[in-house]
Structure 1
């Protein structure tokens, strides 16, 4: 009986990731993935018997890169303002290393919204409750302006995610190259932190 080789499986996942990034789930073909991996289609089907199973493995791998990082920052024992700064710095640094992830994750979640339920069941999925309790306490103590934790979290995600989702558009509008864009994203770390803290901070 054949046994699956871990290196071959990783090689297939990397090849499939490249194809899914280019074509999406619907546009990708198993033969194209096999060609990218340098194996025959029968070997590909031995490891993943359908495109759906292969896609779920690739998507779960991609999501697992970012979800634990978000969860770590949301649940660390720091003040709210420091948490906003840490989240922004950590997210932008991470996305500069994996720029394809936001488009890949959001595009496919929009295509199959129910897949979020599969992800929610996995270890490391972001737990919002500690952040929510922290925001509610800060509002109650009068240290920040009244705001729902859900709204603040959406602001935090939106300001961080959009520049990576719209990178080609931003580069086109501003007429900047990749190097200038990267520098702009570094500046965004302080910009986003300042915007959000100034927005919620109670001024004396």
Structure 2
């Protein structure tokens, strides 16, 4: 029996939804099968276990997410230009793929040992390159001295929080989907501007 890519795609789409809602521990294979519109036996034919299915989802998510971000620091331009590109790419990606950061955050919060899986995939933050960019920026008079880890944590926090907290933000601020999307779009520039201004000497 050959595996049908359409069926596999439905399974992966269903699994992303269920894992995002409930994490690995709370998800059930029967729920995923029901969401995909197939029986449980067929689901097990494609993926032998829930862990294997989760690993596939996590690998795809991280495989899309991290190289897109890390690549910014290997490109051309000074640190201010790279910050601008990093913010734009980060917000664009998480807005289009909101399940990725929430899935990673949820699972690593309750299962921190899963971080080892990420390391095994070969995704290593370009810390040395980032430190060099900060040092060069300071030497060139573009930015004030700042710890690279503080810088990246500040950027990521401002980029990802509005996506992770979308329901809360829309509920508290009483804004509809269109207004929310417009806000996210404007943050591509406003967050970059805020970070860059905070780094001025």
Query: Is the contact made by 2:16 and 2:99 (CA closer than 8 Å) also made in structure 1?
Result: no
Q: Secondary structure at the match of 1:64?
A: helix
Give the alignment's Cα RMSD to 1 decimal: 1.8
- In 2, distance between residues paired with 1:3 and 1:183? 44
Alignment correspondent of 1:22: 21
1:150 aligns to 2:153 (yes or no):
no
Give the paired residue count.
Answer: 201
Deviation at 1:47, TM superposition (A): 2.1
**Which runs of structure 2 are paired with 1:16-165 in the superposition (5 Å)?**
16-123=15-122, 125-165=124-164
1:16-55 CA-to-partner distances (Å, cap 9, x unmatched) read: 1122123221221111112222222222222222111111
Query: Is the contact made by 1:74 and 1:128 (CA closer than 8 Å) also made in structure 2?
Result: no
1:56-110 CA-to-partner distances (Å, cap 9, x unmatched) read: 1112212222111111212212211111111111111222211222222211111
- In 2, distance between residues paired with 1:124 and 1:8? 29
Normalising to structure 1: TM-score of the pair?
0.89
Deviation at 1:124, TM superposition (A): 5.0
Query: Is the contact made by 2:78 and 2:137 (CA closer than 8 Å) also made in structure 1?
Result: no
